[in-house]
C-alpha cells in the first residue's frame, strides 16, 4: 500500500479528506505557522489530534516557528500572502515526506472552496519535482459540506477565519 503524508490545516477539513484516502497508508502532518493567535493554534492542533485519533491515523506535529510574518515578509495582500502561506506549509510537508520515504504528500486545503485551489495544485506539483516525492492531487471540494457535518458530529472546533492575523481582521 502506498504511503501518503497528509498536511492537515484543521480538524474539520481533515474529517472530510481522511475518509477519501482509504487506499493509502496515511500519516497526518500538522504544520501551520500562519495560525494566530497561539490560542487559535492550540484549538486547531487539538482538532487535528482528535480527528486523527478517532480515525486511527498517526499525526506528526511540527513546531510552527519562526513566525508567519517572518516567513511571508511583505507579501501581506491577497493573493500573494495566501500563495506564500501555501508554499511554506506544503514545502515543509514535501520535505518531511521526502526525508521519511513517503510515496506521496497532499493537503486538506484542497477541500476548501475558499482557497486558491488551482494554485495549491500548482505549488504541490512544483514541490514534488523539487523534493522528488509525488504530489497526490484530488479535488476534495465536493466533500466540503460533508466535512462540516462531520465536524459537528465529532464536536470539532470550527474556526471563523483562515488562520493568519490578516484574515482574522477581515472575518
pLDDT at 132: 98
* Amino acid 72: pLDDT: 65
- Could you tell me the CA-to-CA distances from 23 to 26, 101, 123, 146 in Å, in that order? 9, 18, 24, 20
Q: 71 lies in which domain range?
A: 3-169
Q: What is the pLDDT of residue 21?
A: 97
Q: Would the pLDDT of 162 be above 80?
A: no
Q: What CATH number did the domain enclosing 23 receive?
A: 3.40.50.620
- The number of distinct structural domains making up the chain is 1
Q: Is the entire prediction scored with pTM above 0.75? A: yes
89-119 pLDDT, tens digit each: 999 999 999 999 999 999 999 999 999 999 9
pLDDT of residue 171: 45
pLDDT value of position 119: 98
Residue 139 pLDDT > 60: yes
Amino acid at each position: 500500500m502506498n504511503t501518503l503524508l497528509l498536511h492537515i490545516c484543521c480538524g474539520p477539513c481533515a474529517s472530510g479528506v481522511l475518509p477519501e484516502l482509504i487506499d493509502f497508508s496515511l500519516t497526518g502532518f500538522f504544520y501551520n505557522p500562519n495560525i494566530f493567535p497561539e490560542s487559535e493554534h492550540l484549538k486547531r492542533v487539538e482538532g487535528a489530534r482528535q480527528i486523527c485519533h478517532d480515525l486511527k491515523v498517526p499525526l506528526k506535529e511540527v513546531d510552527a516557528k519562526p513566525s508567519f510574518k517572518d516567513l511571508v515578509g511583505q507579501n501581506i495582500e491577497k493573493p500573494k500572502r495566501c500563495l506564500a502561506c501555501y508554499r511554506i506549509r506544503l514545502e515543509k510537508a514535501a520535505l518531511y515526506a521526502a526525508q521519511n520515504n513517503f510515496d506521496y504528500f497532499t493537503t486538506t486545503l484542497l477541500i476548501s472552496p475558499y482557497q486558491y485551489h488551482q494554485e495549491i495544485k500548482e505549488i504541490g506539483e512544483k514541490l514534488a519535482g523539487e523534493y522528488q516525492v509525488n504530489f497526490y492531487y484530488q479535488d476534495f471540494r465536493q466533500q466540503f459540506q460533508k466535512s462540516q457535518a462531520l465536524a459537528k458530529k465529532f464536536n470539532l472546533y470550527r474556526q471563523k477565519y483562515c488562520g493568519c492575523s490578516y484574515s482574522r481582521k477581515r472575518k
